[in-house]
Chain A
Amino acid sequence: MPPQVKRLALLFAIFIGLFLVARYFLVPKSFGEHGHYRGLSLVENQDQEPKYAGQKVCNDCHDDLMAVKAANDHKTISCETCHGPGLIHANNPDSLPLKPAGREFCAKCHSLNAARKAENIVQVNPEEHNTGQNCTECHNPHDPWEKMR
């Protein structure tokens, strides 16, 4: 065999050998368990702490309020839609969740918009409907028509 080929074959063998050794140490251990990815990543993605508790948890303490809500027009709305993430409060009742204030919050659902169907949601024009007043002055958020019956 010509001297060039011998020397080059040796050098390439060393290079590939070093590469394979490096690869052995660098590839994460759980790689390839379920597919071409790190198996541990499935666990890591599950480990994130939830912030929203889910309505069922609220019912444990607030069943009375929830019964009122369930009997009226806001029954399809989850508590945390308006009150924000509630898991911290569920574990530590002294840490209070949000209480939406101001007209802008209710307007997010109820402001007049051609894209909203009237039969799907009650709408008002926030610029004309009782301007200056807070929505909760007339509407109980858990029983919106309470004062109008």
Chain B
Amino acid sequence: MLSKVDGFIYPNEIELNWSVLIVLYPYITGLVAGAFILASLERVFKVKVLRPTYTIALLTALGFLLVATMPLISHLAQPQRFYEIMITPHFTSAMAIFGFIYLWYLMVVLLLEIWLDYRRDLVLWSQEKTGVMKHVYKILTLGVTDLSPKALKWDDKLGYAITVIGIPSAFLLHGYVGFIFGSVKANPWWSTVLMPVIFIFSAMVSGIALVMVVFMVVNYIRKKMIDMACLDTIAKYLLIALILDFALEGLDQVHRIYEAEESFQILDLLVKGKLTYTLFLFQWGLGMLVPILVLAYFQMFKSKERLRRILYLITGVLVLVGIFFMRWNVVVGGQLFSKSFYGFTAFKLQLIGPEGSLMAVVWLIVPLLIVAFLFWLLPPWKRHAEPET
């Protein structure tokens, strides 16, 4: 193992403590927060053209949120003690609020919003279906079967209020993760005021891209004509978020280069050495600059729909990969150099094992399976027509 050391590291730094599973957690919560913000654009900011993606965004967010804890728990050296974070949270630690933020967001924001949006359909489905599904839907109604206009109006009002609360909650859900890194003064690659802000904006980028890709895939599978006005608007918001994210990350780096503090030499070597491909090529090049150029082109010049659809799909995937590498560069990059600033260690990502890349792939596929299940259980395209008024 000592062969992977370059220069000098503190002896205890030889092995990376936070590996790909800890890269996954901010990635997944970022997708959740970003997808929710896109949904809230329609609900709160009245961007009506995004209506076709509203429930898709919410269900996608839910699918990923249900899986979000798993990489964390499976990464713990003592996973069976995970509950301690809920019963004796140490409030000086940003990590301690994880349990409460997660439960708040899952139960009060996402589940409630979906339930309030779907309640009428759940009641009607519980009346229409037979057999097991009848009972399943009945349970999901939580026994609130009142479909009077007054009750439906309350569904709408409460749902609106929850979306409004949900926006800062989404920022908190992902912002605290950024703070976990940004507040570690011992690590100059992490310790920056901008970290929570960068995390939030890259979350929005990844969440919007995810909804865009899911929207396109779902329409393709269902063999439906995609709503181009909606898709073009998603692409526009993706472009705006990308530009803001790029500006923030650029500011962070420019500031670091300009001030050139004590840690600058080692970080310079880090960026130009071990992080060359993951940072310049995957995160900034393919993950940001290419999508920005493509999306900006489509905003400025006319083009054929088919071309736009194909390139939107490719761009969405590039962005999703790029934001994964952003998390990678932060988490893994911050552990590759020694806190003595005198050397580097190396990260050998294993294929199998509890912290291996296969495990990471599992935690990325399971949420997609959950989303598919949610689309089957609560199909956004089989909603009942609005009631006669």
Contact = CB atoms under 8 A, between A and B. Distances in A.
A132 interface: no
Say whether chain A's binding surface is mostly helix, strand, loop, or mixed: helix
A7 B83 CA distance: 28
A36 interface: yes
Contacts, number: 36
B157 to A, nearest CB: 9
Interface string A15-48: 1000100110011000100001000000000000
A24 to B, nearest CB: 9
Contacts of A65: none
Interface residues of B, number: 18
Given A11-B142, A26-B83, A4 B88 contact: no
A8 B151 contact: no
A19 B83 CA distance: 11
Nearest to B145: A3
Contact of A7 (B88, B107, B142): B142
Contacts of B90: 36
B8 interface: no
B149 to A, nearest CB: 12
Interface in B43-89: 83, 86-88
Nearest to A26: B87
B119 A4 contact: yes
Contacts of B373: none
A4 B151 contact: yes
Given A8-B112, A11-B142, A3 B87 contact: no
Nearest to A19: B86
B144 interface: yes
Contacts of B6: none
A15 B104 CA distance: 12
A36 B243 CA distance: 44
Nearest to A20: B87
Contacts of B146: 3
B311 interface: no
Contact of A2 (B86, B143, B154): B154
A8 B143 CA distance: 10
A4 B144 contact: yes
Nearest to A15: B107
A26 B89 CA distance: 13
B222 to A, nearest CB: 31
Contacts of B150: 2
B97 interface: no
Given A4-B154, A7-B143, A27 B88 contact: yes
Contacts of B144: 3-4, 7
A101 interface: no
A92 B347 CA distance: 48
A54 B90 CA distance: 39
A14 B46 CA distance: 35
B234 interface: no
Q: Which of A3, A15, A22 has the most CB of B within 10 A?
A: A3
Nearest to B112: A8
B15 interface: no
Given A36-B88, A36-B90, A2 B151 contact: yes
Interface in A50-83: none
B355 interface: no
Nearest to A31: B88
Contacts of B143: 7
B158 interface: yes
A5 interface: yes
Interface of A: 2-5, 7-8, 11-12, 15, 19, 22-23, 26-27, 31, 36
27 contacts: A2-B151, A2-B154, A2-B158, A3-B144, A3-B146, A4-B151, A4-B154, A4-B155, A5-B154, A5-B158, A7-B142, A7-B143, A7-B144, A8-B112, A8-B142, A11-B142, A15-B107, A19-B86, A22-B87, A23-B86, A23-B87, A26-B87, A27-B87, A27-B88, A31-B88, A36-B88, A36-B90
Given A3-B144, A3-B146, A8-B142, 4 more contacts: A3-B151, A4-B155, A19-B86, A36-B88
